Amino acid sequence: MLSTTMLCTLCGGNFSLDEPIWSCLACGSLLELRLQLTDLPAYEWSAIVSAARGSFPAPGIWRHAGLIPVNAMDPVTLGEGNTPVIPLRTLGLRLGLPHLYAKMECLSPPVPSRTGAPP
């Protein structure tokens, strides 16, 4: 069984998707979508994810549309998502972090989005 709720990133408040809210009613912080699978073995979870990814072949966050309870037939997007991550080998070695990476945010949309730069 798949259940979906919204969880406050600051105070942990839990809200139903039936509530049309964008921020926590208790503290005003951001909400994140929380997907929870219960009583499913790993192979069934893998099948659900594979089927969901194939249901909407789009880049960015919308490639997961089959996993979230939204109407993705006409998604609103600024082109966000799929920002490349590059290895910082020289800096990583100097800092003792051989697997140091950074996102190339310069390739993000030129306007602030909820997934990138703050408003």
**Domain ranges within the chain, ordered by starting residue:** 2-76, 78-110
**Pick from 63-67, 81-85, 93-97: least confident:** 63-67
Calculated CA dihedral for residues 32, 42, 46, 84, nearest 10 degrees: 50
Q: Which helix (H) or strand (E) holds 47?
A: helix 42-55
Task: Tell me the mean pLDDT in the region 84-101.
Answer: 92
pLDDT computed for residue 71 by the predictor: 63
